[in-house]
Chains A and B, each alone.
Chain A
């Protein structure tokens, strides 16, 4: 061990370990900011992957979040296009090639290196999970009415038994399970010994009890065999006893699992007009809005039920696929769909236990007299009071309503406005084109406090 040594004059020695740490921290912070900015700037189509649930379903993970960030992190430079022109490559390790041989062209990558490693762009993996992506994406959004009954907002976790496991704390040890394992193991391990023991014991019994046998052999031979067998029996018994009662492999511990209880549930009821006037574009707008909404709500409530209702002048509950693919002719009356939603809530959900969200998407075209029925359903019959939040999404270009409505506003829009004027649960938003979906979404959920005041 050396203490203080005179510093050499021929070179400078610096212990840099304590100082100069985290030098690249600002660089990493800049990187992070760039990734976040790029995600924030992403359009809804970058995260939409088809169905409403596809947006957050891990099985349907597509590469989009990574693609978004990747584009933001690319560092382009001029370079040659692959596979063009002529190139002479010198390779090491010739095993059998002769001049003039045809050489297999390597797969698109590599082996064209020439050695200097200048090319190898982007083997870099950015680890952003879908949920991190959505975190940033929904960063500025607020789930409305959080303060109303916040106790229900937080999913409650309860520990429930879930079988047995091999590792655990002593407190979790299941004695019965472990003993059962021990029994089996000891049986298996001592099987041969026990068989031998039984044979020996039988012989000894014979020797001791059968006079016939004893008389048929010389006495010293008899006593020799008896003592031999007795010795063997003792040895085997010791062997059997040496197998421990409990081995680590026998131990079984009670396993518990974290289970979310029912109170953490949410239901998103989606209602859409599928009458002739709802063209592909309008449905796409609706679907995107639903997707975002589902992804957003799902982040708060792990168990989110989806209910799909479509309507013309009749309403029906359907599967997600039908919901988006079916198109029917016929008139448009909205109230049967609203009434159906109300009935489903009454039959299946307890508003005290479940957070119910209702979103209606349509082009606002409604049979004139029906509007009053819609209003009745929401207010007089108490649908609105059961909902946590309701959104009316008007998709497609504005149509002029029936006579007497101010130009540019459908009558239904005006009707909804009358509700939202008195209740902050009701929100309404217009989407004319797919590109407006995200803006519309932010309008509804973006920092709701400032909207209200």
Chain B
């Protein structure tokens, strides 16, 4: 009846073709990768390049409140794209249910197949099954939540003026990296978020007048909805949460805006923790599926060569001494590790038997899923980075310290290389470099004199002898001042300049 399905490198996409190819991809994903029941329903959206840049600028969420910094991101991406410095990554996918994947209109059919395999099955499965995502995100409600958040902030702009709203958002964004819970709070809110916000919007007109007066008198208490959440002050590391809860005179609407920023941060927290395994698994999935499509005669060999070209581009890892080196490519590292896990399951060497006894004889589908679903980047690398991958990528470790003999200088010594003596330590060092503390300094609330002059005390907790950058710290402290409304003391562990 229908013609046999064949995609060449010249085939343009049509809705009909996408549907047929989707079914073939799904078949492979379910039957061979054994992902049946492990993905959210998929929603594929055809968009233009400009819309793709839009999507970048709102960090991939289909709905977002408005803020100038997203305009800045848009222009930054557009500039890079137009100068040809950056191709648009061919996929943006949203951790939502249904799981939304964007397909750019100018992609060939082969590229659309690649994106579907990569995003709609690879990332999708990570979103649904990875522990970190399961713990911190609610894929079913994010899009609705964002709509409410956007509407709420718009309402605030109408009522309090865009400038006032912008100030609060600026301040909350400055604290965003410190607006993340790393452990679950003891109490969950009684209502789910969007219902709560909806209630707020509905009630607001009626309540606003009295609320303002009441708030002024009773300071921070949030009305009956939230009493259960209040907890201790000491050593709180979630500054956003703390300010939202305890800032002495913050108006209700500002608290709500902070809450929104905090919720969005928390939603994105797992993505930052799982970049390597997430991109690694998505790449592993597309590579497997595209290879099978070619074997089944659905992809022509020239389309397959075009695919390999794209694939190599995405997975390209420049060496450390290349001008365009900008860190380890998470696609490459994650992909290499997972391909090696599969190899170890199928054809282990003597070395593998020593290093990965638990993988020997295991079905690779199970091993891969366990690696991807049960870990974060640091533990993923710690458990699965093999000597073989270390050798293949030529990984070596460099210890950089302050050179105390030459003021201000630094010195660096190669501490380990890809040999018998070095594998373990390189693995530890690389895993540790993905710990959050390597990127975000730890700042803790050490006290808030709520009964007295209401000074808020913050402290930088030093890590590896690193100092806090003073200039930006002062700017951030100004924002905290603004939200707190009373003096803020930040102890950065250094003697004062004056």
Contacts and interface: CB of A to CB of B under 8 A. Distances in A.
Contacts of B53: 24
A90 B42 contact: no
A98 to B, nearest CB: 6
A10 B317 CA distance: 36
A125 B400 CA distance: 31
Contacts of B228: none
B426 A90 contact: yes
B327 A113 contact: yes
Contact of A24 (B71, B400, B460): B71
B47 A115 contact: no
Given A80-B468, A85-B465, A113 B328 contact: yes
A408 interface: no
Contacts of B105: 17
Contacts of B328: 90, 92, 113-115
A28 to B, nearest CB: 4
B417 A115 contact: no
A115 B434 contact: yes
Contact of B275 (A5, A75, A116, A125): A116
B41 A12 contact: yes
B320 interface: yes
B414 A11 contact: no
B312 interface: no
B37 to A, nearest CB: 13
Q: Tell me which of A13, A94, A101, A114 has the highest count of chain B C-beta atoms within 10 A of its own C-beta.
A: A94
A39 to B, nearest CB: 14
Nearest to B428: A88
A24 B393 CA distance: 40
A115 B430 CA distance: 9
B47 A17 contact: yes
Interface string A37-59: 00000000000000000000000
Contacts of B76: 123-124
Contact of A80 (B317, B326, B414, B466): B466
Q: Interface size for chain B: under 10, 10 to 19, 20 to 34, or 35 or more residues? A: 35 or more
A114 B318 contact: no
Contact of A30 (B41, B66, B460, B467): B66
Interface in B48-78: 48, 50-51, 53-54, 57-58, 66-72, 74-76
B307 to A, nearest CB: 21
A385 B463 CA distance: 74
B472 A77 contact: yes
Contacts of B410: 83, 105
Contacts of B45: 14-16
Contacts of A92: 317-320, 328, 393-395
B419 to A, nearest CB: 8
A167 B397 CA distance: 59
A82 B221 CA distance: 41
A95 interface: yes
Interface in B463-497: 463-470, 472-473, 475-476, 479
Contacts of A116: 272, 275, 327, 330, 433-434, 439
Q: Tell me which of B47, B68, B421 has the highest count of chain A C-beta atoms within 10 A of its own C-beta.
A: B68
Contact of A85 (B71, B394, B426, B464): B464
A61 B290 CA distance: 53
A241 B441 CA distance: 82
Given A20-B51, A24-B74, A84-B466, A90 B413 contact: no
Contact of B319 (A8, A76, A95): A95
A181 interface: no
B278 to A, nearest CB: 12
A218 interface: no
Given A27-B66, A116-B272, A83 B413 contact: no
B414 A99 contact: yes
B75 A91 contact: no
A89 interface: yes
Contact of B466 (A81, A102, A125): A81
Interface string A100-129: 111111000011111111111001110000
Nearest to B396: A94
B192 interface: no
B44 A83 contact: no
A99 B120 contact: no
B57 A87 contact: no
B176 A77 contact: yes
Contacts of A102: 411-414
Contacts of A31: 68-69, 71-72, 75
Nearest to A35: B68
Q: Tell me which of A12, A85, A88, A101 has the highest count of chain B C-beta atoms within 10 A of its own C-beta.
A: A88
A11 B429 contact: no
Given A11-B41, A78-B476, A99-B417, A89 B18 contact: no
B286 to A, nearest CB: 17
A80 B472 CA distance: 10
Contact of A26 (B51, B66, B421): B66
Contacts of A26: 66
A165 to B, nearest CB: 29
A150 interface: no
A81 B465 contact: no
Interface string B411-441: 1111111110110001001101110001111
Q: Tell me which of B395, B408, B469 has the highest count of chain A C-beta atoms within 10 A of its own C-beta.
A: B469
Given A24-B54, A104-B412, A115-B433, A8 B22 contact: yes
A365 to B, nearest CB: 41
A447 B28 CA distance: 72
A75 B23 contact: no
A120 B105 CA distance: 30
A112 B328 CA distance: 10
A82 B466 CA distance: 8
A451 interface: no
B402 interface: yes
A13 B98 CA distance: 11
Given A11-B22, A16-B51, A116-B272, A93 B394 contact: yes
Given A24-B58, A113-B327, A76 B476 contact: yes
23 contacts: A5-B15, A10-B23, A11-B44, A14-B45, A17-B51, A27-B69, A30-B71, A76-B472, A78-B177, A78-B469, A86-B400, A86-B465, A89-B398, A92-B393, A93-B318, A93-B321, A94-B395, A98-B417, A99-B417, A114-B328, A116-B275, A116-B330, A119-B439
Interface of A: 1-2, 5, 8, 10-17, 20-24, 26-34, 73-95, 97-105, 110-120, 123-125
Given A8-B23, A93-B320, 5 more contacts: A24-B70, A78-B468, A87-B438, A114-B434, A116-B433
Interface of B: 14-16, 18-19, 22-23, 26, 41-48, 50-51, 53-54, 57-58, 66-72, 74-76, 79, 98, 102, 105, 120, 162, 166, 170, 173-178, 272, 275-276, 317-322, 325-330, 333, 393-402, 408-419, 421-422, 426, 429-430, 432-434, 438-441, 443, 460, 462-470, 472-473, 475-476, 479
3 closest pairs, A vs B, by CB?
A93-B319, A113-B327, A85-B466
